Structure 1
Amino acid sequence: MNLYRRLDRHLQQSNEGSGPVRGTLSAPRIGMIWLAANFVVTTLLTGTLIVPGVSFGSAVWMIILGTLLGAVVLTLIGNIGTRTGLPTMAITRGAFGARGSLVPVAANVVILMGWSWVQAMLAGVTVNYVVEQFTGFSSPVLFAVLCQTLVVFLAILGHGGIAKVEPWLAVVILAIMVYVFVSAFTTFSPAEFGGIEVDESLGYTNFMVLDIVIATAISWTVLSADFNRLARSSRAGIIGSGVGYTISTTLAMVLGATAIGYVILSGDAAASFDPTVIVSAFGTPLAIVIFMSVMATNTMVVYGMVTSVVNAQVRWKARFLPTSLAVGAIAIAGSTWMALLDQFTGFLVMIGAFFVPVFAIMIVDYYIIRRGSYSRDILRPSGGAYWYTAGVNWAAIAVWVVGAGASYVLTYIWPSPVGATIPAFVLTFVLYFAVSARKRARTAAGPGLQPAEGDGLPYRAPAAAE
């Protein structure tokens, strides 16, 4: 048997194919996975967008508050994955229907592919900067492709390989981040950072910063169940992902704000969302953080795309290895599209518009309408409780369109003074509950995905959660 067939069989036997899995990881292991995943260059560079748009102190407080609010949504969605054993996009069948779920699945794959390209490009630009300093050779596209190729290889290892690699990456990244913080605050005092003059021409407010930070959490929630389903209990998943995500995102964004503040205090030109500006200030150690963060995070992103495709429809029975190779090829080819870096803030807005309403609907549907459990019907290719009308819950689709439209309007047409994310979430939450309240009255609370004796299905039942 050749290497391809052996790896393909191993991945299928390791539950990398479609269907639910039984989680085994503890809270610390889940926490380390999320810790490594969110020490990410895009989150770090998002921090450089905030200062000097608002004061350094305000930036820190808005980052902390926005991260905590976003973590609530992330852990609630992730907990559904722990309790059902299903990845995020498979769970959408419960609210949107067996066929209707293809709408968020398609949006998810497109958005994750965009994330993957952006991160590979930023890693390529960073590696290119360091190499050019030492050798004079410059080819950002080449280094972006090489970084993405390594990411695809790591993603092919599946969730078992990711669980082994991510914690070590987290330790190294955290150690180097501590070095950068110490360097910054021993060169300039906290009072000097707090005294950086606000540039009002950037048009930022505290609420706009809060909106950006929450949108970052929403962008990560598309993967929350993919990885929290590996937790051995609800408690392990919630604590691990909540603590890991909050610490890593707060540190990464504050590091970005600190790095750009350091550049400003040093009297140098401050260009936001440009890794070479802050790497030039802190040297190779920060470049290592950026490179390793892309390896950690982009591996999860590519893995998330593959699991979304594999689990999109029960009847497809797609295999993990060939799917990962196809997705990986597209991810590598797209990493050459450097112009996408100029569209990052618009990309975050698109993520918010697509997925804030999706997650509001999922939370209402699972925790309120379905009383905290999905039945085995969610594994059926047709018929059953989640078939709705020809496989589509048109009420969920309609509410999603309203919520996404509201997010767009409040961002571009009538800008909201409190941002678009929170109003769009609340509007969608209330609307979906209103149109689904009668369904709740007819839904009996049950044990959910309880495995029948001897059926061998490797999923967890809600009753196993602490």
Structure 2
Amino acid sequence: MENTRGTSLFENGLIWFGAGLSIAEILTGTAFAPLGFGKGILAVIIGHIIGCLMLFCAGVIGGKERKSAMDTVTMSFGTDGSKFFAFLNVLQLVGWTSIMIYDGALAANGIFNTGNWVWCLVIGALIILWIVIGITNLGKINTVAMAALFILTIIMCKVIFFSDASGAKVSGDSMSFGAAVELAVAMPLSWLPLISDYTKEAKEPIKATFVSTIVYGIVSCWMYIIGMGAAIFTGESDVAQIMVKAGLGIVGLLIVVFSTVTTTFLDAYSAGISSETIFSKSAGKNVDITGEVKNTAVFFTAKKSSVISIIVTVIGTVAAILFPMDDITDFMYLIGSVFAPMIAIQIADYFILKSDKSSKKADITNAVIWVIGFILYRYLMTVDIPVGNTLPDMAVTIVIAVVAGKIINGGHTAK
């Protein structure tokens, strides 16, 4: 199914290029340094393959059904069930908005020391500007910004990997290979409740999802490796200090600020879309990524969504000023424990059982299975598994969901 008025493959790829180009991903990558370059890269790649496969499945469901990410949850958990996950998604997006602004401000302040709070306000204001301007002209803005960021990031790679640094001893706590894989899975997994907000309006939803996933996966791996390489080859885990020592100055500042804006914009935008799932039956179905309103009757729904996105940005900015957010590992694992079993159940329902619970207020069976998957994920965090704990958790959850579905439907599938 195609949408001739929708976003192109290039536009979708550009959106997810911006999502992957993130200071948070570079900082997360520094944690892989104790594994060494070879094992670290392997962990990054394996983790991203697992996470991006889930991302692809989520994007396909939303793209084929022309539904926002949280609207697709209705098909497995019912209308009230989708509101529960939409609420959790809004919370995690507020959290990500805060973390991204905090990290961006910290790095920017390391280059030009004017105070973290000043940079929080600058970045927050730019995100709001991005939301307002992006409503009518996102594609053109993204094209210019992404081209500039691509060039700037190439410069940063040259500084890190071709500097005269002697490969200083890596400090910091070591982690197991399985824990590293899980940390790599966690980042694409955090985007899972967002991707359909963009693929649902693509001209070619399946191809757009594939392009989005591949572009994001490659760029995200690149960011992780930059962070890991910085820690291994320069002995620095502070991105700002690497840029300062290399004399990048204003170039480094531009990388920090605009990569933060282009990534955090997606969090804030999708928070607005997800909030509509909580308050409205027609959540996010009538506004595309360019902000085009398909029906004048839903103009105020579009406006409300953008206003909520701005409110989320303001909250995130204030939180970034007031609270320290240096260690986000537990936050990322919490996201995994919530959304990994959720998408596992959606995969089982949509691709295997061909069932749709949208007409229900809540599906108790799937709710119980999700709780089991959540508890299992938290337990598996205590076990060192080479492929991380997301993959086995999802495999078990899918099996339980399929068996339960077959039993309830008497061995038949229906949609």
* Structure-2-length-normalised TM-score: 0.87
Aligned partners of 2:308, 2:8: CA distance in 1, in Å? 32
Which of 211, 217, 235 matches 2:188?
Answer: 217
2:371 paired with 1:348? no
Conserved? CA contact 2:276–2:282, under 8 Å: no
Aligned partners of 2:414, 2:331: CA distance in 1, in Å? 41
Aligned partners of 2:122, 2:169: CA distance in 1, in Å? 40
Which of 390, 399, 409 matches 1:430?
Answer: 399
SS at match of 2:35: coil
1:158 to partner: Cα distance: 5.4
Deviations 1:294-344 (A, max 9, x none): 111111111000011123331687723234324423432332334341341
* Structure-1-length-normalised TM-score: 0.78
1:23 to partner: Cα distance: 6.0
Residue 183 of structure 1 corresponds to which residue in structure 2?
159
Where does structure 2 lack aligned partners over 5 or more consecutive residues?
284-297
**Cα–Cα, structure 1 residues 402 and 156, in superposed 2: closer, same or farther, change >3 Å?**
farther
Aligned partners of 1:165, 1:247: CA distance in 2, in Å? 22
Aligned partners of 1:161, 1:395: CA distance in 2, in Å? 44
Residue 380 of structure 1 corresponds to which residue in structure 2?
none
Conserved? CA contact 1:260–1:278, under 8 Å: no
Paired letter, 1:96: F
Residue 109 of structure 2 corresponds to which residue in structure 1?
128
1:41 to partner: Cα distance: 1.0
Paired letter, 2:245: A
Conserved? CA contact 2:105–2:117, under 8 Å: yes
Alignment of 1:327-342 (within 5 A): 327-338=309-320, 339-342=323-326
Conserved? CA contact 2:271–2:308, under 8 Å: no
Larger radius of gyration: 1
Q: Percent identity?
A: 20
**Cα–Cα, structure 1 residues 236 and 142, in superposed 2: closer, same or farther, change >3 Å?**
same
Q: Return 330-339 or 121-130, whichever deviates more.
A: 330-339
Deviations 1:401-422 (A, max 9, x none): 11111222222xx333333222
Paired letter, 1:306: G
Residue 290 of structure 1 corresponds to which residue in structure 2?
256
2:58 paired with 1:92? no
Which of 245, 249, 264 matches 1:281?
Answer: 245
**Cα–Cα, structure 1 residues 368 and 121, in superposed 2: closer, same or farther, change >3 Å?**
same
Paired letter, 1:128: N
Deviations 1:282-303 (A, max 9, x none): 4323332121111111111110
Which of 213, 217, 229 matches 1:246?
Answer: 217
Aligned partners of 2:163, 2:326: CA distance in 1, in Å? 32
**Cα–Cα, structure 1 residues 188 and 359, in superposed 2: closer, same or farther, change >3 Å?**
farther
Conserved? CA contact 2:50–2:391, under 8 Å: no
Alignment of 1:344-383 (within 5 A): 344-370=328-354
Residue 36 of structure 2 corresponds to which residue in structure 1?
55
Aligned partners of 1:433, 1:148: CA distance in 2, in Å? 44
Aligned partners of 2:324, 2:212: CA distance in 1, in Å? 29
Residue 402 of structure 1 corresponds to which residue in structure 2?
372
Residue 236 of structure 1 corresponds to which residue in structure 2?
207
Conserved? CA contact 1:22–1:229, under 8 Å: no
Aligned partners of 1:232, 1:315: CA distance in 2, in Å? 21
Residue 288 of structure 2 corresponds to which residue in structure 1?
none
Paired letter, 1:301: D
Aligned partners of 2:311, 2:210: CA distance in 1, in Å? 35
Conserved? CA contact 1:215–1:348, under 8 Å: yes
**Cα–Cα, structure 1 residues 39 and 121, in superposed 2: closer, same or farther, change >3 Å?**
same
Q: Return 422-431 or 90-99, whichever deviates more.
A: 422-431
1:226 to partner: Cα distance: 0.9
Which of 358, 365, 368 matches 1:386?
Answer: 358
Deviations 1:337-391 (A, max 9, x none): 34341341111111111111111111111111227xx6xxxxxxxxxx5233xx0
**Cα–Cα, structure 1 residues 442 and 167, in superposed 2: closer, same or farther, change >3 Å?**
farther
Residue 31 of structure 1 corresponds to which residue in structure 2?
13
Residue 448 of structure 1 corresponds to which residue in structure 2?
none
The alignment covers a number of residue pairs equal to 392
1:123 to partner: Cα distance: 1.8
Conserved? CA contact 2:240–2:252, under 8 Å: no
**Cα–Cα, structure 1 residues 246 and 160, in superposed 2: closer, same or farther, change >3 Å?**
farther
Q: Name the Cα RMSD after superposition.
A: 2.5
1:36 to partner: Cα distance: 1.5
SS at match of 2:318: coil
